[in-house]
């Protein structure tokens, strides 16, 4: 075991040359704690307590490095966001889980360290997204919440607890995105990225017909936000 540890330390510390410039292709997985800032309870007259909300994302990455330290980064991600809630009132226990599925295209600038075995990695940019599906599970004492109320904006009856809520959210999304972590070079052209990934939505996620006021009579735009750990594996197709 001591010999193995010594060899691992030497592998990290011994100088070597790793490709950085050129075209990079890879894949990633992201485990996130997701949140919706400013809850929209769709005029039911009560806002619920927030619960920790685990969501995930995966996708393909493409990047081009103009130098050993700077490159542009994009790709195509399949990302689930949303928020879980729970509360007790009116003699009942309530739970509500919102799941919003987006396709995101990141547009970022990435910064890396030198060509060492382990490097600092950072990035900043935006996520351009489109909503593909919105669904929820809204339960009262363990049973689906099926009450019908009138939408105060349109005047039409609707079911707040309906399972499919895609039409209640904006079709597009734009988020600020930041990466901070490290890159481990595993060979001349292969590397592994491990980063803290954070994002905040710049636009209101609620569709116009569902921008309903909170129990205090005021409407506050809702925004996606998340923070999580991103793992990426990539190969430098052409570089030096």
What residue segments make up the domains of the chain, in order of their start?
Answer: 17-238
pLDDT at 102: 98
Q: Which CATH number fits domain 17-238: 2.40.160.20, 3.30.300.30, 1.10.3720.10, 3.30.70.1450?
A: 2.40.160.20
pLDDT above 70 covers a percentage of the chain that reads 91
Q: What is the pLDDT of residues 156-189, one digit of tens each?
A: 999 999 999 999 999 999 999 999 999 999 888 8
Mean pLDDT of all residues in 218-227: 97
Looking up tokens 């890396």 gives 112
Q: What span, in angstroms and rounded, lies between the C-alpha atoms of 111 and 114?
A: 10
The residues, ordered by sequence, that sit 6+ positions from 126 with a Cβ below 8 Å of its Cβ are 106, 107, 108, 174, 175, 176, 177
pLDDT at 101: 98
Mean pLDDT of all residues in 206-224: 95
pLDDT at 115: 67
Q: What span, in angstroms and rounded, lies between the C-alpha atoms of 172 and 209?
A: 15
The yes-or-no verdict on residue 8 having pLDDT over 60 is no
Of 24-38, 183-197, 219-233, the range with the lowest mean pLDDT is 183-197
Phi, psi (degrees; rounded to nearest 5) at 213: -70, 155
Q: What span, in angstroms and rounded, lies between the C-alpha atoms of 222 and 138?
A: 19
DSSP code, position 217: S
């Amino acid at each position: 075991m001591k010999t193995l540890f010594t060899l691992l330390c030497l592998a990290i510390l011994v100088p070597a040359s790793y490709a950085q410039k050129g075209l990079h292709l890879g894949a990633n997985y992201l485990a996130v704690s997701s949140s919706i800032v400013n809850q929209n309870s769709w005029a039911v007259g009560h806002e619920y307590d927030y619960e920790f909300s685990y969501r995930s994302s995966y996708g393909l990455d493409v990047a081009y490095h103009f130098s050993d330290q700077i490159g542009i980064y994009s790709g195509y991600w399949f990302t689930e966001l949303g928020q879980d809630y729970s509360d007790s009132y009116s003699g009942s226990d309530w739970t509500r889980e919102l799941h919003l599925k987006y396709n995101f295209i990141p547009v970022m600038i990435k910064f890396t360290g030198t060509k060492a075995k382990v490097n600092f990695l950072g990035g900043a940019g935006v996520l351009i997204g489109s909503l593909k599906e919105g669904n929820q599970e809204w339960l009262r004492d363990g049973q689906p919440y099926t009450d019908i109320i009138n939408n105060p904006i349109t005047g039409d009856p609707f079911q707040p607890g309906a399972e499919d809520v895609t039409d209640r959210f904006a079709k597009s999304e734009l988020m600020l995105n930041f990466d901070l972590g490290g890159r481990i070079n595993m060979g001349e052209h292969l590397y592994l990225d491990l980063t803290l990934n954070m994002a905040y939505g710049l636009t209101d996620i609620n569709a116009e017909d569902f921008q309903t006021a909170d129990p205090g009579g005021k409407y506050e735009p809702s925004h996606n936000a998340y923070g999580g750990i991103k793992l990426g594996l990539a190969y430098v197709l052409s570089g030096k």
